[in-house]
A = this chain, B = another copy of it.
Amino acid sequence: MSLAELRALAIRVLRAAGLAGDHADAVAETIVAGERDGCASHGAYRLLVAVNSIRKGIVSPDPTPRIEEPAPALIRVRGDFGFAQLAFALGRPRLVTKARRYGIAAMALNDVVHFAALWPEVEALAEDGLVVLALTPSHAWVAPAGGTRPVFGTNPIAFGWPRPGREPFVFDFATSAVARGEIELHRRAGKSVPESWGFDSQGRPTSDAEAVLNGAMRTFGGHKGSALAAMVELMAGPLIGDLTSRQSLEADQARGGSPIGGELIIAIDPAGFLGGSVAGALIEAEAMFEAIEVQGARLPSSRRYAARARSLKEGVVIPAALHADIEKLLEAE
């Protein structure tokens, strides 16, 4: 399937599910980007996830996001319970303008539903020449270090750094030990999971995937990952007046929908501190990237970009079973 065909399919499915035109377009772009970059779990598969949240009434099909400026260097987009992509698309130009004017700026997305990764947003802003940090809570599935009961979401941290003449340096990872989808894949395959991934609902270490999903996942990196998960929870929850992961799960009312809540994006214009020396500083950064790659280590985004180059030439392969499931979404409407 070419990327254009996938985009058309995604838009058709999302509109059939009831999404308004601009809403469907914004969400489809994220799905195409995931599939294009070889992230199967964030590609076409996510159409099923998105439509699930639409049908269960978690997400509003035709929201009216509104922009506010609570302080000179802050932007807030109230998402009206649409998917985060629509609110982001609306706020992005203003965040760029503010970062350039003030040197640093932050944007809160409030009242949005998250079903996707953060890297498309971080990459877009890095393409605008900004240094970007994005954070969001999710549903309370992850125990703090030293505990066994869920408090945090999978709470991803994403970062973007502009690189002249090529794709930005981007990373985006969950502060949980693994992605939740990884545990779900193990459950479906009937495979056990390492005991380092989580606890059962009695707080005991377990290698049973189902038990971890009903119990608690662990953070990555012990107490350090746990501290970062708390930071994400605080900065993209209470700090922007939005839900914590515990509140998001509660608001879900066991419907099994995507997390509801907020996202915080901090953007810094390199020209702020550097003035006319931006080019030289970016060269220093390139020297660091080279020192990493020259020893055979990979930059975080390199696999995605390699997959992208392939997909742009050759298109993408959607497994027949998944394609059938997606087509079924159209029939059911």
A interface residue numbers (CB < 8 A to B): 70-74, 76, 101-106, 108, 131, 133, 143-149, 151, 157, 159, 161, 169, 171, 173, 175, 220-228, 230-231, 233-235, 237-241, 244, 246-247, 266, 268-270, 272-275, 277, 281-282, 284-285, 287-288, 291-292, 295-298, 300
Contacts and interface: CB of A to CB of B under 8 A. Distances in A.
A156 to B, nearest CB: 10
A139 to B, nearest CB: 14
Closest 7 CB pairs of A and B: A221-B221, A71-B103, A146-B297, A147-B297, A74-B103, A73-B102, A147-B295
Given A71-B103, A103-B106, A295-B147, A225 B221 contact: yes
30 contacts: A70-B275, A71-B102, A71-B273, A74-B102, A74-B273, A103-B106, A131-B234, A131-B235, A143-B295, A143-B297, A144-B297, A145-B297, A146-B297, A151-B291, A151-B292, A159-B227, A169-B230, A171-B227, A173-B223, A173-B227, A220-B222, A221-B225, A226-B297, A237-B288, A238-B284, A239-B273, A239-B274, A239-B281, A246-B287, A266-B266
A97 to B, nearest CB: 13
A285 B149 contact: no
Contact of A273 (B240, B273, B277): B240
A108 B104 CA distance: 12
Contact of A246 (B222, B272, B291): B291
Given A106-B103, A239-B270, A288-B151, A73 B73 contact: yes
B268 A239 contact: yes
Nearest to A151: B291
A73 B284 contact: no
A223 B228 CA distance: 15
B224 A288 contact: no
A227 to B, nearest CB: 4
A295 B151 CA distance: 10
Given A224-B225, A238-B285, 9 more contacts: A73-B73, A74-B104, A104-B105, A131-B234, A131-B239, A147-B295, A169-B234, A230-B292, A239-B281
A74 B275 CA distance: 12
Contacts of A102: 71-74, 102
Nearest to A145: B297
Nearest to A298: B146
Nearest to A274: B241
